[in-house]
Amino acid sequence: MSWKRWLLGTPLETHRFSEERLGIPLALAVFSSDALSSVAYATEEILLYLSLAGVAALAYSLPISGAIVLIMAMVVASYRETVYAYPGGGGSYIVARENLGVLPGLVAAAALLIDYVLTVAVSAAAGVAALTSAVPALFTHRVAIGLLFLVLLVVGNLRGIRQSGAIFAAPTYLFIAAMATMLVTGIVRTAMGLPPVEPPPAAVPDPTQAVTLFLLMRAFSAGCAAMTGIEAVSNGIQAIKQPESRNAAVTLTIMGCILAFFFLGASYLAHAYVVVPGAGQTVISQLGRVVFGMGPMYYVLQGATALILMVAANTAFADFPRLTSILANDRFLPRQLANLGDRLVFSNGILILASSAGFLIIVFGGDTHKLIPLYAVGVFLAFTLSQAGMVMRQLRRRKSHFRLHAAVSATGACATGAALLVIAFTKFLQGAWIVILLIPLFVFAFLRTHRHYFFVRQQLSLREIEPERPIRHTAIVPVSAINRATIYALRYAKSIAHEVEAVHIAIDPHRAELIREQWKTWGGTVPLRILESQYRSVIGPLVDHIDDLMHGRRRNEMVTVVLPEFVTAHWWEGLFHNQSAFLIKGALLFRPGVVVTSVPFHFSR
């Protein structure tokens, strides 16, 4: 279709799949946007809880941020091992499945799929929040704006991964430049003792609770959102140019270093300038005003932040379809998700991801703070299972320095496991229970899907197949009127079967009598059976008649229903017809021994 070609581009040949892979600059843009964008709200989430205990509690933001960065370093080191060990991609799912078993692998897959959907929803909501901080008049339209950005992301990703990378690279690098400029400038100004260009607009609220271990745990769990997206490179390694493992490891290292600097830098400046959430502005917006004032650089920073938050969802659009394709190839998801589209991307996965995220944006009103509590549970579960799987792999293979590598992964698994328990405990009543409930439901759906495909494979197996016998079948032609379409269907039925019967469902007695008279002229030797329909149903009497014919028949005896079917010149003209052929097909679909054949009669234009 011309509109589709204009919007998405012409189809790509299969052999060009390798050409669509990403070099390190584009891979960094595609796979790090999610992780880097979390800087825009991770520090804010920490301060949101600490500010409940007053200004004195804000000092805890730095050690909390430092602990999160330490865990981040362990996770990056572990995933560097993963990309070398599993160059085929799949990340946590593949690692856990091969080293811990199928069930842990499916748990990791479910956690990641849920996290990717939340990534898109949170990124879109946070991007809109950054936009409305600069332009408050747009606040009431945040849901519509979020959905609009989702549509743009879908179109960009359906055009192909290389094109989407090129489209979304500019916002990523613009954010890196703007954020680095703001942090370096702010750190230099604080080191020189210079006052803020513009004082923070939000005042620290009066304390409403004491500094307790539970409050610190809540702040820590909220800040752990900064680590989401780190696993993206290992999941999408097949999208990176050869040598995949080396390029993926370099991309992962660069991403980790930038992320750690941005997160610690933002936390430090927020502490130095006593910036807290409030006044209808994000913390990053307030830091921009403190460092740059309301000059052009502030708007560049806000624009870049809004853009990176929007395109952060692009990481999920790169990884979610790839993970679903791997699960589909393993028969844990419908096989349609394993199919590449016209532009060599997994189009079905992209559409499912966008629909799910759009649903969350509508349900939660595009509010970042309502979505954040659902976040991070899944990704930390995947982190823990992946690193535990790497420990088992290293101990089993016992290659050089295996004890050191196993120790790194084991330390990371313990750290992320402890963080997972904290996150699940502190966020449970705020919404984490939804994710904790969904994960086993997803695993159950995976297992049921796999069971279905196993059953299908058994049923289609050629073992114990019956010896060939000639098929005998009776052809039935439903007749609603005597016309050309009916006669053509009747002729076709006589060409494929020796026993042919025409059936008319008598709803109107006068019409039935007319058809009986016309049949004497046009029916030839084919008998016409009139079936009474007491309740004016066409489907019921026909199905009952076919069931009677099938009763007692052997496996090599079948009934073929030959349907005369109109094909109109224009699609909208089909709305003027009752589509009884479609209803008959649906009613007979699940009846063994019954074949339904349509004989289309095309109307000329």
Contacts of 89 (CB under 8 A, 6+ apart): 234, 235, 236, 237, 238, 239, 322, 326
**What are residue 572's phi and psi, to 5 degrees?**
-70, -20
Q: Encode pLDDT of 506-518 as tens digits.
A: 888 888 889 989 9
Q: Which pair of structure tokens corresponds to residue 243?
A: 């040598």
Computed on alpha carbons and rounded to an integer, the radius of gyration of the chain in Å comes to 31
Q: In this structure, which amino acid lies at residue 462?
A: L
Residue 1 has pLDDT above 60, yes or no: no
CATH top-level class of 21-454: mainly alpha
pTM for the model stands at 0.74
Q: Which of the four pLDDT bands, split at 50, 70 and 90, describes residue 365?
A: confident
Q: Encode pLDDT of 430-456 as tens digits.
A: 777 888 889 999 999 999 999 999 988
Residue 144 or residue 471, greater confidence: 144
Residue 543 has pLDDT above 60, yes or no: yes
Task: Decide the pairing of beta strands 557-567 and 499-506.
Answer: unpaired
Strand partners, 3: none
**Domain-wise residue ranges, the chain:** 21-454, 472-602
Compute the Cα dihedral for 234, 390, 95, 432 and give only its sign.
Answer: negative
Residue 415 has pLDDT above 90, yes or no: no
The whole-number pLDDT of residue 17 equals 59
Q: Encode pLDDT of 99-134 as tens digits.
A: 999 999 999 999 889 988 888 887 788 778 767 777
Residue range 314-333: mean pLDDT, rounded = 87
Q: Which pair of structure tokens corresponds to residue 209?
A: 């609770």
Q: In this structure, which amino acid lies at residue 225?
A: A
The CATH homologous superfamily of the domain defined by 472-602: HUPs (3.40.50.620)
Mean model confidence pLDDT for the chain: 83
The whole-number pLDDT of residue 578 equals 66
User: Angle CA(591)–CA(595)–CA(601) in degrees, nearest 5?
Assistant: 130
Q: Which of the four pLDDT bands, split at 50, 70 and 90, describes residue 90?
A: low
Cα separation, 599 vs 489, whole angstroms: 6
Q: Encode pLDDT of 7-35 as tens digits.
A: 666 666 665 656 667 888 888 887 888 78
Contact at 8 Å (CB) between 562 and 600?
Answer: no
Across 319-387, the runs of DSSP E, i.e. the strands, are: none
Residue 46 or residue 554, greater confidence: 46
Residue range 227-242: mean pLDDT, rounded = 80
User: Ranked by mean pLDDT, which of 2-6, 225-229, 388-392, 397-401 comes out on top?
Assistant: 388-392
Residue 577 or residue 272, greater confidence: 272
- Report the SS3 class of residue 474: strand
Q: Which of the four pLDDT bands, split at 50, 70 and 90, describes residue 260?
A: very high
Contact at 8 Å (CB) between 480 and 506?
Answer: no
Cα separation, 311 vs 264, whole angstroms: 22
- Report the SS3 class of residue 535: coil
Residue 200 has pLDDT above 80, yes or no: no
Cα separation, 298 vs 200, whole angstroms: 14
- Report the SS3 class of residue 554: coil
